[in-house]
Structure 1
Amino acid sequence: MTTELRVLDPSEWDRWYGVLELAFGGVPEAPEERQLWRDLTEFDRSLGAWDGELCVGTAGAFSFLLTVPGGASVPAAGVTMVSVAGTHRRRGILTSMMRRQLDDLRAAGECLAVLTASEPAIYGRFGYGVGSYATKATIDTNRVRLAVPEGVEGVSLRRADLRESSAACEAVYAKLVPARPGMLARRPGWERLPLLDPAGDREGASPRLCVLAERDGDVVGFAHYAVKVDWSSAGADGSVGVHQVMGLDPVAEAALWRFLCSVDLTSSVRVHSRPVDDGWQHLVSDVRRCEPTLRDVLHVRLVEVGAALEARTYQAPVDVVFEVEDAFCPWNAGRWRLTGDAKGAVCVRTGDAPDLALTVRELGAAYLGGTSLVSLAAAGRVRELREGALVEASVAFGSPVAPWLPHGF
């Protein structure tokens, strides 16, 4: 049988999405969740693989604006909803969808693609590198105390309806987007994502709650969370599940963390995904009692090496020639000279001798400043060909704040 790969028609969405649900365990999503993803689907950027009338593969992309080092918002394709039916594995369907996606992105002039991976081992062969990480933690609030900065008492907190406070929370979010690489500017429709709270996904916790932080009448932060009440022989043993905490300054954010760590009838705060350099880690009296763990989040693919490297700035002057290997997108292969600093950059083809040799996957990993080229070289994934070039480039590619993806897609 031959498999046809074609752009998704809106009339095919239910069958297409059903294949995706089956690939991720077969548990149907709540109607409101399914409707949200249908509304956000960009049909002209969604692909289906068809075996006759049977859909056997799915892949899509969202049109995002991604913050890169230097604060610019760069168009990036958010690759999503990728699956292949278990009955049609090892037939090249995934490869054909990845091939078509990247060719289409190049034709459209987009230089970046990003994704979150259910199985990270899959996407390295298509040139994606892990560009950002996040911390997961469980704060033992019976044993851990918070030392908050001066000024916290000047921040007032009030409970707010999740939906009614959405505009105020989105305004806080929008102000923070340019400050951290890896964050996504929310386009119309995406403000609904933080409000999605299907009862079947709560695992015994409360509906999602909201607290606003205010100073002089202005909203300067918010927390979205849920409370799960539990009891042991010693008494109340509930937990606070943190969905999002954002403050416009350290004092506002500390006030929110203090609140979350003092909710009645709870003894722990469960943090699902926070930046690896998040300030709460320095507020707690004993970080070991918080059990922080690291997880990969955003995988980055440079679709056009020259344009992507020119789209960001560099925290130190850099003048380096990369010998790039890219078997999946051969138009990127060869030598590229990057010159740049904090004001801008130029990256062009060159015949000059190379200073560093690496694959496009390593460039993707280092692109947002969260993974150092020195670290990749320690694993044998970057080769230094000119003495001193590795440190020079690694320092330049760094970011003063760690990249972070605030929500999935």
Structure 2
Amino acid sequence: MALEMRELQADEWDVWYDHLELAFGGVPESPAERKLYKSLTETERSLGVWDGENCVGSAGAFSFRLSVPGGALVPAAGVTMVGVSPTHRRRGVLTSLMRRQLDDVRAGGEPIAVLTASDPAIYGRFGYGTAAYAMTVDIDTTRVALSVPPGTDDVRLRLVDPLKALADCERVYAELVTRRPGMPARQPGWERLGLLDPAAMREGASPLKCVVAEGPDGEVVGYARYRVKADWEQSGSDGKVRVQQVEALDPAAYAALWRYFFDIDLTWRVQAYGRPVDDPVLHLVSDIRRTQARQRDALHVRLVDLPAALEARAYGTPLDVVIQVEDAFCPWNEGRWRLAADAGGRVACTRTDAPAELELPVRELGSAYLGGVTLTSLAAAGRVRELRPAAVAEVSRAFAGDVSPWLPHGF
């Protein structure tokens, strides 16, 4: 029987999602998670591949607006729910899904597509480059102290119900979005993702807790959500604080929240997940060696409409360069492009017949797009070819950002 690819219908969602759970190991999600993702699914942007009544392939997209260097919010397809049944591998199912999806993204006018990868090796061949990383820190609070900035003692902390504090937390998040590339502006419904608290997610830890930081006028200027894993051994308590989110609008509030974690009784470790790789906490701790930090890939970026994407972001220095781009999967991007950015913030990216000054695949351009991966490092790995002396260094400086890009939550 021939396979059929089609747009998802609302009454097919449960079968479609059952397939996805199977593709990711077959462990059912909690009813709360399933209910949330059903409400967030954009069926008109969701594809299923069907073998008779069986769904054997899936891919979806969320309509995001993603912060890029300079603070602009750029329309982006948040690629998600990609899976192929193990019974239908090596039949071109994934390639056909990626082909249809990128064509649809282009037709819809979104300059970029982004994703988080369960297996990073898969998506490079479709032009996705790793553009942002995330850090996990595991801090031994019996051996590490914090050096906090002036004003920290003036911050008032309140332990609050996570749901009741949601509006204040979302206001803080919204103010932070344009400060760091890679952060999606929250669309309606996405604010509930940070409140998910099924028992299966806790791994024996407490229900989700929330603490807010208030400035001198009583306005909420920071928040943190966390769980406490109480544990005991023969020598005494062995508790851990597991930080889910911690955000603040100023250094004093940020430091106050971290000091709060360190002061929780009967715990001796603070573990925070998915933090920016340049998280300020690295400069608050007294001993970086006992602040075990590990990083992994987080956000992968694909330029779908190359000139629109490059014109949407800002550049750190004036720039005028001709770039030869390789893009076999989206051939409309392939060729030579002149990218010019002046000191006044005007940017233009146009086709040209002028000689190329550097050459690179679209995947590497996606990696550099948010300013966290330098073109000089990619060139050192042989991923970028310099055709004019000093061209790579000049373009790399223009692309680099002041802060590392960061994706604060998955999708």
Q: Same fold judged by TM-score > 0.5?
A: yes
Aligned pairs for 1:56-95 within 5 A: 56-95=56-95
Where does residue 230 of structure 1 map in the other structure?
231
Paired AA for residue 131 in structure 1:
A
* Conserved? CA contact 1:315–1:341, under 8 Å: no
Where does residue 365 of structure 1 map in the other structure?
367
Deviation at 1:392, TM superposition (A): 0.6
1:407 to 386, 389, 409: 409
Where does residue 347 of structure 1 map in the other structure?
349
- TM (normalized to structure 1)? 0.99
Aligned pairs for 1:321-332 within 5 A: 321-332=322-333
Aligned pairs for 1:81-160 within 5 A: 81-160=81-160
Q: Which consecutive residues of structure 2, in runs of 5 or more, have no partner in the other structure? A: none
Where does residue 38 of structure 1 map in the other structure?
38
State the secondary structure of the residue aligned to 2:301: strand
Paired AA for residue 271 in structure 1:
A
Q: Which consecutive residues of structure 1, in runs of 5 or more, have no partner in the other structure? A: none
* Structure 2: distance between partners of 1:344 and 1:245: 35
Paired AA for residue 373 in structure 1:
L
State the secondary structure of the residue aligned to 2:121: helix
* Conserved? CA contact 1:366–1:372, under 8 Å: yes
The C-alpha deviation readout for 1:345-365, integer Å capped at 9, x for no partner, is 100000000001000000000
* Structure 2: distance between partners of 1:263 and 1:327: 54
* Structure 1: distance between partners of 2:3 and 2:95: 13
Where does residue 211 of structure 1 map in the other structure?
211
Paired AA for residue 89 in structure 2:
R
After TM superposition, the structure 1 stretch with the greater mean CA deviation from structure 2, 91-100 or 228-237, is 228-237
* Structure 1: distance between partners of 2:104 and 2:166: 35
State the secondary structure of the residue aligned to 2:91: coil
After TM superposition, the structure 1 stretch with the greater mean CA deviation from structure 2, 259-268 or 77-86, is 259-268
State the secondary structure of the residue aligned to 1:90: coil
* Conserved? CA contact 1:313–1:341, under 8 Å: no
The C-alpha deviation readout for 1:236-258, integer Å capped at 9, x for no partner, is 11000000000001111000001
Paired AA for residue 177 in structure 2:
V
* Conserved? CA contact 1:227–1:239, under 8 Å: yes
Where does residue 311 of structure 2 map in the other structure?
310
Aligned pairs for 1:131-280 within 5 A: 131-215=131-215, 216-280=217-281
State the secondary structure of the residue aligned to 1:120: coil
Where does residue 23 of structure 1 map in the other structure?
23
* Structure 2: distance between partners of 1:234 and 1:350: 71
The C-alpha deviation readout for 1:66-114, integer Å capped at 9, x for no partner, is 0000000000000000000001001000000000000011111111000
- Residue-pair matches, total: 409
* Conserved? CA contact 1:15–1:55, under 8 Å: yes
* Conserved? CA contact 1:339–1:346, under 8 Å: yes
Where does residue 385 of structure 2 map in the other structure?
383
Deviation at 1:341, TM superposition (A): 4.0
The C-alpha deviation readout for 1:251-286, integer Å capped at 9, x for no partner, is 110000010112111010111111111100010011
The C-alpha deviation readout for 1:217-248, integer Å capped at 9, x for no partner, is 11000010000001122211100000000000
Deviation at 1:52, TM superposition (A): 1.2
The C-alpha deviation readout for 1:139-161, integer Å capped at 9, x for no partner, is 01111100101110110001000
Paired AA for residue 296 in structure 1:
D
Where does residue 300 of structure 2 map in the other structure?
299
* Structure 1: distance between partners of 2:201 and 2:309: 38
Deviation at 1:185, TM superposition (A): 0.2
* Conserved? CA contact 1:341–1:396, under 8 Å: no
* Structure 2: distance between partners of 1:185 and 1:110: 15
The C-alpha deviation readout for 1:295-317, integer Å capped at 9, x for no partner, is 10000000011110001010111
Where does residue 14 of structure 1 map in the other structure?
14
The C-alpha deviation readout for 1:19-41, integer Å capped at 9, x for no partner, is 00011111111111100000000
The structure-2 alpha-carbon separation of the partners of 1:6 and 1:363, relative to structure 1 and needing over 3 Å to count, comes to: same
* Structure 1: distance between partners of 2:310 and 2:150: 41
* Structure 1: distance between partners of 2:342 and 2:376: 19
Moved beyond 6 Å, runs of 4+: none
Paired AA for residue 259 in structure 1:
Y
* Conserved? CA contact 1:314–1:344, under 8 Å: no
After TM superposition, the structure 1 stretch with the greater mean CA deviation from structure 2, 179-188 or 342-351, is 342-351
Deviation at 1:344, TM superposition (A): 3.0
* Structure 2: distance between partners of 1:200 and 1:181: 32
* Conserved? CA contact 1:162–1:195, under 8 Å: yes
* Structure 2: distance between partners of 1:25 and 1:310: 41
* Structure 2: distance between partners of 1:197 and 1:258: 24
CA RMSD of superposed structures (Å): 0.7
Paired AA for residue 289 in structure 2:
R
